[in-house]
Amino acid sequence: MNTRHLVDPQLTAMLDAFPVLNLSAQTLPQVREEMAQLQLAPPHESGNVTTAEHQLPGPAGAPEVRVLVTRPTQASQEALPALVWIHGGGYVLGSADQNQPLLEALAEELGCVTVSVDYRLAPETPHPGPVEDCYAALEWTHQKAGDLGIDADRIVIGGESAGGGLAAALALLARDRAKVPMRAQMLIYPMIDDRTCTNPDLNPYVGEFVWTNRDNAFGWASLLGHEPGRDGVSPYAAAARADDLAGLPPTFIGVGSLDLFLDENITYAQRLLRAGVPAELHIHPGAFHGYFGFEGIELGERLRREFVTALRNAFTR
């Protein structure tokens, strides 16, 4: 179905900024190269933050995990809250560097530390490799909090798209391992349910732009190592598969009305609330996948403001 008439007018012009992915095993190397060169946000050049690269121990038998740690240069002597951030890319694309303009701005605005995780990508590394890399980074952040100037009791996790999916899975994993406390999970149009790929009653008004159901099927098959939609998929791979959501941290979810993940995000928010988890859901009419933080675009800036407000509340709660 053609949904272009439903796109917010300010976002219509942005459609041409996104390449058509058409992901497959054959196109993936080229798409990765193209996406690495695509810059949708200008660099943050205030000079009021510093970023350091660290290599930390990975999961047992796995390589080290690279993280980028950003902090305000004029920070007080008090321990700062931290955001452990997971980048998007359908589980097959992206790197820790891609959200640095956003994270540097957040570190300056909120006086926090950000830790961006360069997890291994599928299909080269299927589940559980990516989420275990993220858990290693979360545990390292907690264990090294004193050295990093972080308040170990004020750690928030978050991510965008597949990064939001990994953050949601990470919240379940951290809850069940009961070693690292989390203040909140901040999920930007998270990719959390492989069953969307095979849903016979898929919402006809979502998924036309940026991230299609075809790309979604490739991303999930790459992560799972088999076709999506089967029985027995781990909730640590697809968080929507979890039977029990009780005990998860307060949750923020933001998604556009034209995003392929709209229905799975709405359902997840409802289930969180029914499990007694404080949750807020923001749906932005006319927004497609990938609009978070677009400068000069009201919907993107609105989501950023809502995100910042919720993150500030989590840090100070």
Domains present along the chain, CATH in parentheses: 4-316 (3.40.50.1820)
Provide the residue type at 291 as one letter: Y
Q: Is the pLDDT score of 312 beyond 90?
A: yes
Query: Residue 310 — φ and ψ, nearest 5°?
Result: -65, -40
Distance, CA of 199 to CA of 314 (rounded, Å): 35
The pLDDT of residue 211: 97
Query: Cα separations (Å) of 72 from 10, 113, 181, 304?
Result: 33, 7, 23, 19
Tens of pLDDT, residue by residue over 204-250, are: 999 999 999 999 999 999 999 999 999 999 999 999 999 999 999 99
* Residue 41 pLDDT greater than 70, yes or no: no
Total H helices, total E strands in the chain: 9, 8
- What mean pLDDT is predicted for residues 42-68? 90
Q: What are phi and psi of 118, to 5 degrees?
A: -100, 70
Average pLDDT score, the chain: 95
Minimal CA–CA distance to 128: which of 209, 225, 38, 63? 225
* Mean pLDDT on 259-275: 98
Give the model's confidence band at 151: pLDDT under 50 very low, under 70 low, under 90 confident, else very high. very high
Which of the four pLDDT bands, split at 50, 70 and 90, describes residue 43?
Answer: low
Pairing of strands 113-118, 65-72: antiparallel
Residues 51, 66: Cα–Cα separation, whole Å? 13
Q: Which ranges constitute the DSSP H helices of the chain?
A: 9-12, 28-37, 100-110, 129-143, 145-148, 162-177, 213-224, 262-274, 298-316
CB 149 within 8 A of CB 80: yes
- Residues assigned a catalytic role: 161, 259, 289
pLDDT-derived band of residue 36, with 50, 70 and 90 as boundaries?
A: confident
Helix (H) / strand (E) containing 50: strand 49-56
> Has residue 40 got a pLDDT over 70?
no
pLDDT at 76: 67
> What tens digit of pLDDT does each residue of 154-187 get?
999 999 999 999 999 999 999 999 999 999 999 9
Identify the pLDDT of residue 296.
Answer: 85
Least confident segment among 8-22, 86-100, 145-159: 8-22
